[in-house]
Amino acid sequence: MIGTGRQAGDDAMILTMMMGAALAGASLPPKPERAMLREVRTLYRGAGNRMWPGFAQVSLDLLLIGPKRETLFCHGMVKGFIPAGRDPLTGCALQSRARQMAVDLAASADFFPGGQTIAIGYPKALEMTPAYWKATVLHEAFHLYQSHLPGYAQAVAALGLAQGSDGSWMLNHPFPYADPNVGAAFRTMGEAGLAFLHAKSPADRRLATKAYVVARDAALARVSEADRRYYEFQVGQEGVARWTELTLARQGDAAMRAHGRDYWTGLSTSLKAIRDQGLKMWKRNAFYVYGAMEAEMLEQASVDWRSEYRRRPFGMGEQLKRLD
């Protein structure tokens, strides 16, 4: 029974929340997508946390974008959303609203107050297999982890590359991709990278890594200081996220392990494509490939590069130079 005064107001609020939760619950995301998110969280809380200390503490802060509605997982209440109860699969508190974002979005950014959130559409909308989709969520989850590293935001600001406050510089920095001399120098880097990926012994990997570091220095000597900082930013932010995604995928279920193996093979394919098609076509996407390879070079060298990365995320080049 609804009472009077404050009691009536409290009861009305509860009734409104119950009605809202029922409305949202009628259009919750399908079980398969929520089950995949559970698998992702299990991976980064387990293997991911062993690889990157503190990963287990990162919340699965994610907006799942369906054809008609969006569901926000593990996030504080946001204006315009309706409470939708707690998901028994992910353990997240849910809230829902009519769709506002593109169904084929896959990114992490400050979409809502309170820090970075992953926003991603369903696998079908993104034309991804379930394994590819889960690996992509892992990639974006690592970006959330990066954003929680002490001093990470300050390290980004210290690069001095930001123009305005919308982050568009990360995509639109005028790196001289079309300069033929720069393209030729990056091709030399790529050839050394291919030698590393195809090496049959630790000694061959060390020789290829040394050749890569020399070629890297020569390539970055052809661009401006700001461009060098931009390269270090991209390999540190996106390249290491790609390496983490692929490494963790190899510890998932059978389909994810196969995806991880295919994408490690794909690094070689991508380097050949960058060589043949040119930096002008690949632009910053090439740096994802170089960055993942640089992380693997450090990993294969058996140095504690990940601890150093957590302190200085945009110092991959300096770490490579210190290898014997």
More confident residue, 114 or 179: 179
Residues forming beta bridges with residue 83, ordered by sequence position = 95
* Residue 324: per-residue pLDDT: 74
pLDDT tens per residue, range 226-269: 999 999 999 999 999 999 999 998 888 788 878 777 777 888 89
Give the per-residue pLDDT at 165: 66
Q: Tens of pLDDT along 13-63?
A: 333 344 444 444 445 789 999 999 999 999 999 999 999 999 999 999 999
At residue 10 the predicted structure's pLDDT band, cuts being 50, 70 and 90, is very low
pLDDT tens digits for range 65-83? 999 999 999 999 999 999 9
Task: State how far the Cα of 193 lies from the Cα of 291, in Å rounded to an integer.
Answer: 11
Of the listed ranges 126-130, 199-203, 257-261, 306-310, the least confidently predicted one is 257-261
pLDDT, tens digit (0-9, with 9 covering 90-100), for 118-176: 999 999 999 999 999 999 999 999 999 999 999 999 999 999 998 766 778 999 999 99
Domain boundaries, the chain: 17-148, 152-158+175-321
**Whole-prediction pTM:** 0.88
